[in-house]
Amino acid sequence: MGVPTNDRLGVVRALLEMAPDTAVHDLDMALRADTSAALAPVRGMVRAELQDRGVRDVVLAPAAPLCAPREDGFRQALFPAGALPRLWRGLKALEPRAVGEAAASLALVADDVGLAPVCDELCLAAAAAIRDQAPEMQGLTRYLEDFQPGAAAGFAGYLELAPLARAAVRRLPLWLRNMTGEHAAAIRLLFRDADAIAPDASPRLLDMLQAQTAEPWRVLRIISAATHRAGDRYLASSEMAEFCERVLADIERRVNLVRQFDVDGGVPAGQAAAAALTVAIAEIHEFEESLDLGKEGPWGLRVAQAKHAVSDLAEGILKKAPKLLGEALPLQPLRAGGISIRMEPQLDHAPDLRLVRRAMAGLAFFDRCRGAAAQGGYAVARGRTAEDIVHRLDSYIEDILVITHGGEPPAPDHARAFLEVAADMTALAQDEKSAQIVRRRAAAA
């Protein structure tokens, strides 16, 4: 295969510029495995593109998350993904020397520590160019206006706040971890500085901070600090209302995910339902701790209803778990003289995989919802469920081992299969160490 022509390389370069980051990374990994000379120009282009994107991501760090949806589903992107490469392309044409300076400095320090001034200047230059309709930004402006009228001016408004957001993001983990009076005062000063830039800048700044947090509901702590822990009636009519509504909407979305839990989905479904439940509980707790909620206020009642729904749903699923376990590990009466004296494992058939999957879903939920049980109000129900399923599993395992030790069971393959199923269930009901003990005992039987 010959070396690609300049025309073809130009096509590749254009495609690379618009490709998502994941595609470029995947292509880089694929090309690393192919060391042929023919692809050397393409490898060089891909690596240069990755380096360029690394600089872009540092320079535009405060605004970049606004152009991508959150993986947790909390919120969609404010601007389309194509805005970032178009902005960067325009900025490189507008300020080539400053971009080159940022790239050279970043090659030495690997992050934006010490680079904030040049990065902030580039963001401000981009904002001014968008507002002034500079030729270098016309591609971006057309793209954003096609997406939504007024989006270009809105994007410029976010870029104008990049210096404040960049500085605040470095302090954000400390603020969220330990909201002292000093930190609260710093947050209030931050929002005053934002409002000095534009009268409606505070919500945009909060958008930028929220987009940088792994747990977006914790923005309620920032709102609490900025408003001296205001009540829900006041906040519901303020510019901060949208952020509180987002958290409420996410609570209700996650409660619905738990409500839709289908045990036929197996372990992944159980884990997903427990994860949704856990986050909803964290969000509810954040509301209660950060804001002054009135019982009849606009949000107090909704939060209380969500709290009851979470507890009821968790208890309902936990109550079903032992029943699902019993269906997957069937018993039959042991008779003596025509009289049923006790129940023993039914080993005349192999485990029913559908019933096993359903039981594993319930156990996966049981396992993953442990951490939030006390805060979610279902700790007692979970404790009862734990006693029930552990007793059922222990008894079932012991009974099969007794049958096995007493002689050749009627269906040894079925006995081994049920022991393996019981071991997998034990891993979720107790822990992997207990499951390994079951497997060793089964192997020795």
Q: Is residue 68 part of a domain?
A: no
Whether residue 251 contacts residue 245, with contact meaning beta carbons closer than 8 Å, is answered with no
Q: Is residue 380 part of a domain?
A: yes
Please give the distance of CA 336 from its chain centroid, rounded to a whole number: 57
pLDDT tens digit string along 387-403?
999 999 999 999 998 88
pLDDT of 4 reads 56
pLDDT band at 8 (very low <50, low <70, confident <90, very high): low
Q: What is the pTM of this model?
A: 0.85
pLDDT of 311 reads 96
Using DSSP's 3-state secondary structure scheme, residue 310 falls into: helix
**Rounded mean pLDDT of 332-343?**
67
pLDDT of 38 reads 65
Sign of the alpha-carbon dihedral angle for 397, 354, 351, 333: positive
Phi (first) and psi of residue 132, to 5 degrees: -85, 0
Q: What is the rounded distance in angstroms from the CA atom of residue 398 to the CA atom of residue 404?
A: 10
**Rounded mean pLDDT of 360-386?**
96
C-alpha distances (whole Å) from 16 to each of 23, 285, 394 are 9, 45, 58
Query: How many separate domains does the chain show?
Result: 2
pLDDT of 200 reads 87
Q: Is residue 216 part of a domain?
A: no
pLDDT above 90 coverage of the chain, percent: 68
Q: Is residue 48 part of a domain?
A: yes
Q: Which two tokens stand for residue 123?
A: 């963001």
Q: What is the rounded distance in angstroms from the CA atom of residue 426 to the CA atom of residue 445?
A: 18
Q: What is the rounded distance in angstroms from the CA atom of residue 211 to the CA atom of residue 209?
A: 5
Whether residue 42 contacts residue 13, with contact meaning beta carbons closer than 8 Å, is answered with no
pLDDT at residue 189 above 70? yes
pLDDT at residue 339 above 80? no
pLDDT tens digit string along 227-274?
999 888 999 999 999 999 999 999 999 999 999 999 999 999 999 999
pLDDT at residue 340 above 60? no
pLDDT tens digit string along 25-40?
676 676 676 666 666 7
Phi (first) and psi of residue 160, to 5 degrees: -65, -25
Phi (first) and psi of residue 139, to 5 degrees: -60, -45
pLDDT band at 9 (very low <50, low <70, confident <90, very high): low
Higher pLDDT, 84 or 343: 84
Whether residue 167 contacts residue 156, with contact meaning beta carbons closer than 8 Å, is answered with no
Residue with tokens 């979970």: 382
Q: Which two tokens stand for residue 131?
A: 């507002």
Q: Of 16, 31, 59, which residue sits at a domain end?
A: 59
pLDDT tens digit string along 278-317?
999 999 999 999 999 888 888 999 999 999 999 999 999 9
**Residues 6+ positions from 239 with CB-CB distance below 8 Å:** 200, 202, 203
Higher pLDDT, 114 or 130: 130
What domain range is 20 assigned to?
6-59
Please give the distance of CA 313 from its chain centroid, rounded to a whole number: 22
How deeply is 199 buried, as exposed, middle or buried, from its count of CB atoms within 10 A (0-12, 13-18, 19+)? exposed
Neighbours of 309 (CB within 10 A): 18
C-alpha distances (whole Å) from 295 to each of 282, 304, 326 are 20, 8, 42
**Rounded mean pLDDT of 375-392?**
95
pLDDT at residue 434 above 70? yes
pLDDT band at 1 (very low <50, low <70, confident <90, very high): very low
**Residues 6+ positions from 95 with CB-CB distance below 8 Å:** 122, 125
Q: Is residue 401 part of a domain?
A: yes
**Residues 6+ positions from 354 with CB-CB distance below 8 Å:** 264
Q: Is residue 332 part of a domain?
A: yes
Q: What is the mean pLDDT of the chain?
A: 88
Q: What is the rounded distance in angstroms from the CA atom of residue 164 to the CA atom of residue 190?
A: 7
Q: Is residue 288 part of a domain?
A: no
pLDDT tens digit string along 64-86?
999 988 888 888 889 998 999 99
Residue with tokens 């049980």: 373
Q: Is residue 33 part of a domain?
A: yes
